[in-house]
């Protein structure tokens, strides 16, 4: 039995000052004013030193594993090593549940990384599934990002869903001229950032991508119905029009990932969808693709979820930036990375908030040198996974 005392407990609706949390058997069993817990036989008492006692972060969209598995474009490392080393980093960023977001694509004109080949994506998926039954630090889940030109992968995806190896499914269309790349100049600039290519060659890529074979409505419907039968949430991606939101909603999509504009984000929320934006957007001061500002969208009340996207450290810092620089309620900002994503992926009965009976995924967050937030202790399932002590 653990007691975390002398802290500020982040609940679903508010922050309780001078409080403590009692943990037993992997679950939260009590929230009290500091010093009032009556249990005398405690295994460990942890002093939060007036820091925040918060739920573990639930990250439902991140391809960070790609960087760890392939730190150089032509270097692919052992996947077991990659996963084990990645979770060491994620746990120290407060991420206790990670949905590794890997793409099944047709043609990838951007990537020169072999890590994105169908064979490597499938191999990583299998390794992630294996973590459930072996020693691990965090909860690993698989977010299958399905590009609608990945026609050759349909049957394989369906088999993975049936086997319980997919926990979140999103449909994507990165064709130039719409979505994230509705501005073709952004598309051209992005492509040139990935490889040496002439304007004439880019014109040929655009024509080929716009004319490539795409999944039919029947194909999408078939996959979506299978996901629903397995209780898997479905997301749309890079929504840029109201028509796209309605299109994906008819297949049961409940999450809108990275809506391109404030107007589309508002429409997604009006349609009953949960909206997701990237935390790095907040750290950068705007979208790297020239799209919607995440901070502006939060301030306008049209964001439900923050994800790390490609930079795990962004979750913690985005919370405090929104609170300290924009005046957003701190408990509300924590919900963007804890309870709301847990709700989106149907895990909120077990994780996502400090509530009696839920799993004890708990962080202690302190400030060093006045205003820099750091995570000094992380628990998963009521076990202390890591503790950090800063020194001079």
Question: Could you report the per-residue pLDDT of 105-138, keeping only the tens digit for each?
Answer: 755 554 556 888 889 999 999 999 999 999 999 9
* Structural domain spans, the chain: 2-54+353-387, 57-344
Domain 2-54+353-387: give its CATH code.
2.30.40.10
Write phi, then psi, for 218 (nearest 5 degrees): -65, -40
Question: Could you report the per-residue pLDDT of 228-280, keeping only the tens digit for each?
Answer: 999 999 999 989 888 888 888 889 999 999 999 999 999 999 999 999 999 99
Looking at every residue in the chain, the average pLDDT score rounds to: 90
If you classify domain 57-344 with CATH, what class do you get?
alpha beta
The half-sphere exposure of 277 on its side-chain side, counting CA atoms within 13 A, is 33
Q: What is the DSSP string of 33-61?
A: ETT-------SEEEE-TT-EEEEPEEEEE
Q: Quote the Cα angle for 303-308-311, to 5°.
A: 145
What mean pLDDT comes out for the span 277-302? Answer: 93
Q: What is the percent of the chain where pLDDT is above 90?
A: 74
Query: At 175, is the pLDDT very low, low, confident or very high (cuts 50, 70, 90)?
Result: low
Q: Is the pLDDT of residue 177 over 50?
A: no
pLDDT of residue 206: 52
Write phi, then psi, for 65 (nearest 5 degrees): -55, -30
Q: What is the DSSP string of 224-280?
A: HHHHHHTT-EEEEES--SHHHHHHHHTTT--EEES-SSHHHHHHHHHTTPEEEEEHH
Q: Is the pLDDT of residue 50 over 60?
A: yes
Q: Is the pLDDT of residue 389 over 60?
A: yes
Same fold, 2-54+353-387 and 57-344: no
Residue 211 in 3-state DSSP?
Answer: coil
What mean pLDDT comes out for the span 223-229? Answer: 96
In angstroms, what CA-CA distances link 150 with 47, 170, 171, 229, 232? 51, 13, 10, 22, 20
Closest CA to 121 of 184, 71, 63: 63
The half-sphere exposure of 366 on its side-chain side, counting CA atoms within 13 A, is 15
Beta carbons within 8 Å of 206's beta carbon, 6+ residues apart: 176, 177, 184, 187
């Amino acid at each position: 039995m653990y007691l975390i005392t002398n802290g500020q407990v982040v609940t679903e609706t508010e922050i309780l000052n001078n409080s403590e949390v009692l943990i037993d058997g992997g679950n939260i069993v009590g929230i009290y004013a500091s010093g009032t817990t009556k249990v005398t036989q405690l295994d460990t008492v942890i002093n939060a030193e007036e820091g925040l006692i918060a739920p573990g972060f639930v990250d439902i969209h991140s391809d960070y594993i790609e960087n760890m598995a392939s730190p150089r474009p032509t270097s692919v490392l052992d996947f077991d090593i990659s996963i084990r080393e990645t979770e060491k980093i994620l746990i120290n960023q407060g991420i206790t549940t990670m949905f590794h977001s890997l793409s099944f694509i047709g043609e990838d004109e951007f990537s020169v990384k072999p890590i994105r080949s169908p064979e490597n994506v499938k191999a990583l998926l299998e390794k992630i599934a294996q973590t459930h039954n072996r020693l691990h630090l965090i909860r690993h889940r698989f977010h299958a990002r399905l590009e609608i030109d990945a026609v050759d992968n349909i049957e394989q995806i369906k088999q993975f869903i049936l086997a319980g190896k997919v926990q979140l499914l999103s449909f994507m269309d990165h064709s130039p001229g719409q979505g994230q790349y509705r501005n073709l100049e952004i598309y051209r600039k992005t492509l040139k950032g990935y490889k040496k290519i002439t304007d004439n060659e880019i014109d040929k890529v655009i024509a080929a991508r716009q004319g490539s074979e795409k999944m039919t409505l029947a194909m999408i419907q078939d996959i979506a119905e299978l996901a629903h039968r397995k209780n898997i949430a479905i997301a749309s991606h890079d929504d840029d029009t109201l028509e796209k939101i309605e299109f994906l909603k008819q297949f049961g999509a409940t999450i809108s990932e990275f809506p391109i504009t404030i107007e589309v984000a508002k429409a997604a929320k009006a349609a009953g969808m949960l909206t997701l934006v990237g935390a790095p957007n907040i750290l950068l001061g705007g979208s790297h693709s020239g799209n919607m500002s995440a901070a502006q969208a939060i301030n306008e009340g049209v964001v439900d979820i923050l994800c790390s996207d490609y930079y795990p450290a962004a979750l913690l810092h985005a919370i405090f930036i929104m609170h300290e620089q924009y005046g957003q309620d701190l408990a509300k900002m924590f919900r963007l990375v804890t309870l709301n994503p847990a709700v989106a992926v149907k895990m909120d009965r077990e994780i996502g908030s400090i509530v009696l009976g839920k799993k004890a995924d708990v962080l202690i967050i302190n400030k060093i040198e006045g205003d820099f937030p750091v995570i000094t202790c992380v628990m998963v399932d009521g076990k202390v996974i890591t503790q950090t002590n800063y020194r001079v």
